[in-house]
Structure 1
Amino acid sequence: MISRFRKRHAHAVPAAGREDRFLPFGYKLMFSYLILTLVHVLIFGYVANWIFVDSVRQQTTDNVQAALRQMKDNVEYRLRDTVRLSDILYYDDGTATRLRQYREGWYSYESTTTYLLPKVESVLKATDRRISLVVYLRNETLPEIYNRYDDGDPLATADKSYDIYHMWRIRGNSWYRELPAERYGETLTWKQIERDEEFGNISLLRRLIDTGTVRDDREFGFVRLTVKLADLFETVSPDFGRGTRVRIEDADGRVLHETGHGDALQTTEENEDKQMLTITEPFQHVNWRLVATIPKEWVEKDARKVKLLTVVIGSASFLVFLLAGALLSRYFSRRVSRIVMVLDSFRHGDFRKRIRFKGKDEFSAISQSINSMVQHIDDLIQQVYVTSLKKKEAELESLQAQINPHFLYNTLSSISRLAKFGQVDQLHRMVSNLALFYRLSLNEGRTIIPVANELEQAKAYLDIQKVKYADRLDVLFEIEPELLRCEMVKLLLQPFLENVLKHAWCGDRIHIRITGRRTGDDVEFRIIDDGIGMRPELVSRLSQPYDTSGEAGYGIRNVQQRIALHYGKPYGVRIFSRPGMGTSVTIRIPYVSRTVPFAAPDNSESA
């Protein structure tokens, strides 16, 4: 790594002989090019290799999946064909009714020879596959009929055979007790029981149900159809190449059938050690799955060519970018070094130096902009800052001054009506309350007042209205004592109280509830009335702080603008109303504590 030293200006150096060490811009630019080039090559190679291998893997997976699906369909066809044989006995209501008659003698003999045996033989004749049928009957008046297999495989003795036993022979067997509850037409189980696994067989187990009775003992018999696994899975064979395996697993993960090409069959763990690609196809009507394992080396054998091509292209690209980076970094580093030198003098307070570049390019434009910026930066900051402060203060004072004349106009109109009708006492109380209201409103010219003063102003306003409306107006204040220790912009509550009395009357009376509480770092006031409410479109217009339509409420917009100017956009007014139910206005401002103590007024009062 190469580095150099650059001396600071004499007036900016805090100690004699001190030097700052840094890596030159040209080397930084060069290293950046190298890193970007290397990243580009690595990403390109990785993406190209990943896309190709993934494409091959996906194509192989799709081909194997299609082959597995065909094998699965063939197996499922044979499974359904075996189920179809059991349906001959399962859905025969006539035979079921006959076999449920517990009569000995001639009736039992006739039921066996005329109904049962012909039905069993029809099952055997309905297929050309090797099959063993065993029927267990609850009716013990019927005789047992069975063959002797000399302790061997029934399917090895005869291609087709049947036996008839009584139910007591299997009631103690676990496989019989573990059968799921009967659902007519659906409950059946494929399972290797007794010596099926030894002989390479599997059995279809199914109850015989009498649909003609509603008694609990509807099961009058049981059917066991045994077939060879080799016959059932005859079409399952791995045709995908050397080293591939195909197996069928049951719900417990036991392998029912497995076959493969190449080396001897291996366990799943061994396949994983050799990094085999596993593809699974589940059966639809039985809880089995068909699993194929294929060596990844066989799938990804063409990826080596892509890797070699990627290395060649990446190396060539890296060399080209390396040469271009060296030339560009040398060209730009010289100009950037001059800019850094001048900016460094600006950082230490020397604004006399200027940057000069020949020609018309980006560096020339940058140098001119920096020169102009340094020349005017102090005056510009001062001008913008002072002007902005004065403008904001003027807007706030203007909005604050607008609310009092608006309220005074409405109050003087009420005083005029009282004087016209000669109501001297009420006129006296209203004028006294008006004087109190304006004494609190003036507040020595301050815009920010204690919350207690704001509540007292609201109560003075409501006392003025109480003279006019008497018992028709009912007001309740619910203010948390903690709020009396903070301050706020004045005259936020009164415009909404005025709006309620002007527009919300529903009948001869109206109730107003004013609440105040602290929510985290904010203060939330609510003015709730049970008046006529407002239409949704009117609520939407009232929520727009700069709406100029006549219906949108001057006082509400005034409050919105004053809150936005003083506290910022996150704070303001939210209105919720439904016609016929009333209106709820929420005013949210930040919680600002007072430093001067004051006497707290009563925070729960009815006006």
Structure 2
Amino acid sequence: MLSYMIFIVILVSVNGYVTNSMYDASMRQQTRTTIQAAITQIKDNVSYKTDDMIRISSLLYDDYNLVRNLKSRETGRDQYYRMAQLIAPKLDSASKSIGFSQRLFVYFHNETIDEVYQTRVDGDPALLEQTYDIYHLSRIRDQEWYKNFPKEEYSVTMQWKQVEKDGAENRISLIRRIVDTSNPLKLKELGIMRFSVRLKDLFESVDYAKLGEGSMLSVMSEKGNVIYTSGASEGNLIDSESLKNDYIKIEEKMGRQEWTIVAHVPVTIIAQEAQKVRTFIISVCVLCFILFTFAGIFISRYFSIRITKFVSVLNAFREGDLHKRIAYRGKDEFSQIATALNGMGEDVEALINKVYLTQLQKKEAELEMLQLQINPHFLYNTLSSINRLAKFGENEKLQKMVVQLGKFYRLTLNSGRTLIPIISEIEQSNAYLDIQKVKYGQRLEVLFDIDANIWPYETIKLILQPFIENVLKHAWWGDRIHIRIVARKEGNDILYRIIDDGMGIKRKRFGEIFAPAGEAETGYGIRNIDERIKLQYGAEYGVSIVSRPGIGTTVQIRIPAKKRKLYPREHSSAI
């Protein structure tokens, strides 16, 4: 019961830990996915606005009539007509074509074009939105942002940058050239256009509230500089070491602008939910532990009382008292075992009496006695395993093992016959392996390779099972073992082979098995079967073993091919 309790504590604890870990990982993944989707939407909203500004600038960039008029040098009425009817309307339309406030500044090389600009005074900044200003390029020729502007690549070169008063007014500008494309090999600069927009208008969708309280959203330039921040005291945590441990960081890159939207979400949001689930899981684990404990005590006592009865009868059989019987009522598997045990005791007792009363020949008596030494030993070991399963509360394995044990003994009894059909011997071995599979599970793999031509022949019973049992006792080499059972007809003989990939047998032990010194117990089961076969068929038949340490062992059993006799109600089902 103590072992069972330790097992339950470990099982429940591991289950609780794994469940909590999986939930925490799932919550983090779900939160990350949700935040990623929100950031993607924010990125799309910002991209929509920037793309809209690029689209408006492209209308001016690709306007052939505007370029033609910017190149010409008009004076007088022609110059007035050019400004009033051609240039000014286009710039005014461009400044008002975007759905949010902006300012358009253009700088022309052609100084025949008049400068037009708004008077900047302190007051409502909104009065100066959606306007355009025209300057001569000489005003900015010495400015660093103009001198460092990249070389022109048709319809590609543009730059988002804070220039002039953008920094002080929390604005950012889209800067592009106006070029003469009449010579594609040499694009000539006619001017510079600068669309200035407020950061809060451009990044209106960059709102930390969409991610949760305590979150922070930042827009970073390609050089890692902060362009815009929302939340967490407006970016006070940008350089904080706590971001690494207390926040989840998610990034989303924008396309043409080469900006990166960075989100920092506090892990406390996840931790609060995880704590609720952790408390629930711990409560369930404690409850399961209590229930399993009481169930284990009850089931252990229920089965151990019954198993003790079987063990006591088996011990009596081992001591030679074949008169002891089990009084058991019911229709469950224990009833089948009790019936099989009582029947076995009666059969063994009757057989012994028959041997002594009729004074059978020595050869037949020795054969029967060697055979009868196997069943009680196997049954005792199996019932001991059942007893352990009952103590540990492994009820499903217990039930399977008891059912297969009943099947094994139904096949073993065979109306007391020594010679049985080969198919019955194969079925008997399969029943034994089914019992062992309950015990070992997937660690045991078995393959039957049976020639159908051997079914008409008979064999001594219980010559395969002891070798299979020997493999499971002594051949383990690692955590798994494979057994292959082969049955073939070769000439006038039947050959069985039991092949395993276990640890093998050292060569010096072969002598101890087949030629022991004194009453050595090593190889007793192997010698038992070998002697039974030789007593029944002659010295040319029996058991041989080939083994290599670390590779495996092959046991070969040779008997003559003798066709079986038919008995009433003979069991003839196939595997």
User: TM-score, with normalisation over the residues of structure 2?
Assistant: 0.49
